[in-house]
Every structure is written in structure tokens, then in C-alpha cells.
Amino acid sequence: MEHAFKPEQMTKKYFTPWVIVLVAIALNGLAFLAMRFFFGIGSVTNLNDQFPWGIWIGLDVGAGVALAAGGFTTAALGHIMHRDKYEVIIRPALLTAMLGYTFVAMGVFVDIGRWYYIWHPLVMWNGNSALFEVGICVMIYVSVLYIEFLPIVTERFIGRVNLPGFLKRFNLLVDGLLRKLDRGLDKTMFIFIIAGVVLSCLHQSSLGTLMVIAGPKMHPLWQTPVLPLLFLLSAFSVGFPMVIMESIAASKSFGLKPETEVLSSLSKFIAPLLGIYLAAKLGDMFIRETFVYLAEVNSTSILFGVELVIGVIIPLRMFMSSAVRESVPGLFTASMLVIFGVVMNRFNNFVTAYNPPYATEAYFPSFGEISVTLGFVALEILIYRLFVKIFPIISIPIKGFGAKAKYAIRGGSK
């Protein structure tokens, strides 16, 4: 099989009107973040003794980890199962996972009261704590993601090392080191790739174990001993929709033709994955007979319904239709719905479902909390855009390969 696509650096200029908007959102978030570091968490958030965790944990961490699942799901498909045709999407997915987890770590960093002790879990262990497991796994996995990204860095700079000023004399030395690093990575990369998938499965599920200990404080619609399984299955099902959404968005932003063919065939995996997740979620609901809570209409049952119907059932139906899978708007919409569903699920698990026994008022995120969360998202997109300009991440068709390449891909996948 021949490669019809090759990762290239993007050449379009960095600043567009939308990028300026993102910069503004990011700066607004950073301003509130500064306040948090000078005057304490309470000065920016609506958190209190009743609601110790808000959207910084629910969305920045909970949803953030889930949405970075594109990294390990595509690595499993492309590298472990060796489905070569999906190679074009592995690099963008890897970059998103790497940035995603970096921002998860940032989310934790700003949410914990004593940010300067963030390294404590490395040396102070509590094997009973689900949070400890999540913390350790995420720390190791972030390192693994950076290692997985290194070959892209070596590819970019080997033969092109050009240090400024008096550092020039080290050009050859650095180049040699990069080549050595590249060879070493090539031999050992499979260790990191498998480790990445194992670590992801572990902490994606342990993230679900987190709220189990809240016991009766958590609404029975979400509180279940199979939460880790539900978290893992939903992470599996949101990985590919994230990759599809990003790929389409990036193509549009950089004026490229979307890789519809690859994305269409990738989307075939989504309906079965969503189906398994839905079956587990409904099965759990019927075994524990929690559907009785849906009889009363209140904000809790409505949010559960939204999560399940709009976020799982509708996109499941959409991904079963080949017309949707083969159209770019169809793929984009259905993927966005899955993403919405998983974000809702994490929000519901960490925020909606949490009902402390002595609550006097409900929690709603403050303007500052929302600003920081949006600021992180904006910052992540901005860094993504910067990275695809610096490094060869996004694949573009090789000139002069045209129709023949397309044929080769179709034939090669069988």
C-alpha cells in the first residue's frame, strides 16, 4: 500500500479574527486565574463546604480526560491493530491528547488548594484512594504522551537544526543527538504505545470510581458500583468522534479538503461502541431500578434525559446511517452530539448528581469559574494551532498522487 498523505507543517497565517477572539477568551480566563492565586479559590469560585468540587473538576478534569481519549483509541487502532489507513489521524489525535492531558493537569493544579504540593502523590501513596490512582496514572500517561510525541520533534529538526548566534557551533552535536534519540525511540516506541493504552484504560475507569465513595450523597441515577465501567465505555465511544470533529474543524480552518474517506470508515466503529455504552447504562438502570427517578420531572431527571437521549441515543442512530457517515456535516454533527453527551455525563456525575445532606443552596459555577474553564479551552486550541504550524502533524495529500492513491487506499485496507 502506498501513502497518499504526508504530515506537513501548516503554512496559513496564525492570526485570524477567530484566533483574536480566542486570545481574548484566554486572557479573560488567565485574569481570573491570577485572582485565584492571589486571594484563594473562594475569591473566584462558588465552591464552599457544601460543594467542594465544581466545574474545574467536573469539566476541566472529568470531561477533559474523557475528551482526550482520542489519543489512546487511535493509538490502539492504528499502532496496536496496525490499521495503517488510520495513520493520518494518529498525529492530530496524539497532539490533542497531549495538550488535553496537559490542561487536565493544569486544571488539577489550579483547583487544589496547595498547588505547590502537587508532587506529593508521587512520594506519599494511598493505595485505597481512587484519586491517587487517577493522579499517578495521569502523571505517567502525560509523560508517555510527550515521549510518543518526540519522534515528530526529531522528524521536524533532524537535518534542519539551526541554532541562533554563538550556539551555532552546537548544530552538528544537537543533530547527532536527535538522530540517536530517534533511533532509540524507534526501537522502544511500542513499549510506550502499549503502556499508553493500558494507563488510559486504568485511569479512565478509576475516574469513574472517584464518585463512588460519595455514597448516598450522589443521586442514584448516577451512583452505581459499575461507574468505572460506564466511564471506560463512554471514553471508548467518545475517542473517535473527537478525532473526527477535530479533523473536520482543522481542515476547515486551514482550507484543506476533509479526509472524508478515512473519517467515514473510522465512524463505523462509533455506533457499536456507543451501543455497548448505552446497553451498559440502561442495563445498570434496570438492574438497580433507578428508572423510578425519571417519573418525577425536575432538573436532575431532565439533565439525565438530555445526557442519554441527545448525547447517546440520537448520535447512535445517526452513526448507524451510512448517509450520515459519508457526509461531512453529518459526521460533524453526530460527533459533536457524542462529545456533548460525554461532557454532560461528566458534568452530571461530578456536579448535578452531588447532593450533600446539609445543602442550603444549589451550586452554580461563578463567572470566574466559567471564564477559567473557557480560557483553558481557548488556550488549548491556540497552542494546537501553533503546534501544527511548527510540527508536521496534519496530513495533506501528496501532489501528483491523485486518483491512483485513492484506489490504493481502498485496495490496501482489505
Partner 1 sequence: MSQNRRDFLKSFAALGASAATLNAVTPQIVKGSSPNKLSPTRKGVLVDTTVCIGCGKCEWACKTAHNMEAGDIENYSAQLTDGSQRRPSESALTVVNQIDVNNADSHKVKLQCMHCDHPACVSACIVGAISKHENGAVTWDTDKCIGCRYCMIACPFQIPSFEYLKALDPKIVKCDFCIDRTKVGKLPACVETCPVGALTYGSRDELIIEAKRRIDKYPGKYFNHVFGEYEVGGTSWIYLAENDLVKTVFPKLGTNPAPGVSESIQHGLFAYFVPPVALYALLGGVMWLSKDRDKSKGGH
The residues in 281-320 that bind partner 1, with binding defined as CB under 8 A, are: none
Degrees, nearest 5: CA angle 139-140-141:
95
d(CA 304, CA 347): 11
For residues 90 to 129, the per-residue mask of contacts with partner 1, x marking binding by CB under 8 A and - elsewhere, is: ------------------x--xxxxx-xx-xx--xxxxxx
Number of residues that bind partner 1 (CB under 8 A): 75
Among 176, 225, 283, 402, binds partner 1 (CB under 8 A): 225
Residues 230-259 within binding reach of partner 1 (CB under 8 A): none
CB of 276 to partner 1, least distance (A): 18
Interface segment toward partner 1; rule CB under 8 A; list 206-214, 259-267, 374-382, 388-396: 206-214
| Contact residue for partner 1 among 22, 60, 68, 79 (CB under 8 A) | 79
Query: What nine digits make up the cell of 29?
Result: 480566563
C-alpha 250/C-alpha 270 separation (Å) is: 21
Out of 19, 23, 50, 305, name the contact with partner 1 by CB under 8 A. Answer: 50
CA distance 250 to 386: 12
In this structure, how many other beta carbons lie within 10 angstroms of the beta carbon of residue 170?
12
Count the neighbouring beta carbons within 10 Å of the beta carbon of residue 319.
28
**Which of these segments, 21-29, 73-81, 138-146, 273-281, binds partner 1 (CB under 8 A)?**
73-81
> For residue 88, which amino acid is it?
V
- The contact mask relative to partner 1 for 130-169 (x = CB under 8 A, - = no) is xxxx-x----------------------------------
- According to CB under 8 A, which one of 9, 23, 31, 48 is a site residue for partner 1? 48
Residue 397's SS3 state is strand
Q: Rank residues 50 and 327 by Cβ distance to partner 1 and give the closer one.
A: 50
Distance CA 75, CA 194 (A): 9
Interaction of residue 340 with partner 1, rule CB under 8 A:
no
Asked if 184 is part of the footprint of partner 1 (rule: CB under 8 A), the reply reads no
Q: Which is nearer to partner 1, 66 or 130 (CB)?
A: 130
- CA 67 to centroid of chain Cα atoms: 3
Long-range CB pairs of 354-357 (<8 Å, 24+ gap) are: 354/51, 354/53, 354/211, 354/214, 354/217, 354/218, 354/219, 355/217, 355/218, 355/219, 356/50, 356/51, 356/217, 357/216, 357/217
Can you tell me which of 11, 15, 82, 165 binds partner 1, judged by CB under 8 A?
Answer: 82
Q: Binding to partner 1 by residue 81, rule CB under 8 A?
A: yes
190, 291, 367, 407: which one binds partner 1 (CB under 8 A): 190
Give whichever of 87 and 307 is closer to partner 1, judged by the CB atom. 87
Count CB neighbours of 25 within 10 A. 19
Within positions 344 to 383, which residues make up the interface with partner 1, using CB under 8 A? Answer: 354, 356-358
Grid cell listed for 15: 492570526
